[in-house]
Amino acid sequence: MISGPSGVGKGTLRKALFGMITDLEYSISCTTRPSRKGEREGYDYRFVEPDLFRELKREGKFLEWAEVHGNLYGTLKKDVETSLALGKDIVLEIDVQGALQVKDIMPEAVLIFILPPSLGDLKDRLNRRGTEKGEDMRIRLDDARHEIELSARYDHSVVNDDLKTALESLKRIIGSYRQLEENQ
Ligand code: 5GP
């Protein structure tokens, strides 16, 4: 699982990672948040209505779910179970609340937190991205402080100061677990 505050560059890092390690699966989350420009249904997210999300939740279809920045997000059990049954590694890019829920159920899951060089830097990045304004931006920065505190419970943290260096660290961490699996 890869977590980190909004704007830290998790998405960019994850996409670059998938370009380097091609046999990883990606868990496509369900969300009630509206799609952003350029996002594709079933590729970036499964964009669902709140009613459908609640129904999936009631039916116990989620491995984990959480309310993040005022929207609902969840990982379908089926996606994770299918990949693992096929012996594949699956990457979840999810928030801290969700990641800690999964860790409780599956202690073998690996938690990696992506940190910004500083909170000021994170604010600059969110401003540059420009997808959130005013109140939304404030919520995301407040949540970032809380998430960074909880990151102490993660197995690894990677500072995304330079993309190439952060990517190498991420690759090394994942590679070390795969090496362990091979040696078992
Ligand atoms: P965004 O709206 O910027 O795409 O994502 C907001 C936050 O929701 C990010 O921290 C992202 O990692 C998290 N997120 C995305 N999918 C899931 C999910 O399935 N479960 C949980 N708990 N968080 C998610």
| Ligand 1 and 29: CB distance under 6 A | yes
Q: 184 pLDDT exceeds 80?
A: no
Tokens for 75? 């990982």
Could you give the 3-state DSSP secondary structure of residue 53? Answer: helix
- List of E strands, the chain: 2-3, 25-26, 30-31, 46-47, 62-68, 71-76, 90-91, 112-115, 156-159
Q: Are 95 and 73 in contact (CB under 8 A)?
A: yes
Mean pLDDT calculated for residue range 138-165 = 93
Cα(45) to centroid(ligand 1), Å: 10
Question: Which sign does the torsion angle of CA 3, 92, 63, 53 carry?
Answer: positive
From the list 63, 61, 60, 71, the residue with the least C-alpha distance to 35 is: 71
Rounded CA-CA distance 105/103 in Å is: 5
Q: Which atom of ligand 1 is nearest to the CA of 45?
A: 16
| Ligand 1 and 76: CB distance under 6 A | no
Per-residue pLDDT band at 183 (split at 50, 70, 90): confident
Residue 25 φ then ψ, to 5°: -100, 155
Residue 30 φ then ψ, to 5°: -90, 140
**Residue 112 β-bridge partners:** 2, 156
pTM to 2 decimals?
Answer: 0.93
Place of tokens 């998938």: 18
Rounded CA-CA distance 146/144 in Å is: 5
What residue ranges define each of the domains in the chain, with the CATH number in brackets? 2-183 (3.40.50.300)
Cα(82) to centroid(ligand 1), Å: 21
pLDDT digits (tens, 9 = 90+) for 131-143: 777 888 888 889 8
pLDDT digits (tens, 9 = 90+) for 114-126: 999 999 999 898 8
Cα(43) to centroid(ligand 1), Å: 14
List the strands of the sheet with 156-159, edge to edge. 2-3, 112-115, 156-159
Nearest CA owner, ligand 1 atom 15: 94
pLDDT digits (tens, 9 = 90+) for 69-83: 889 999 999 999 999
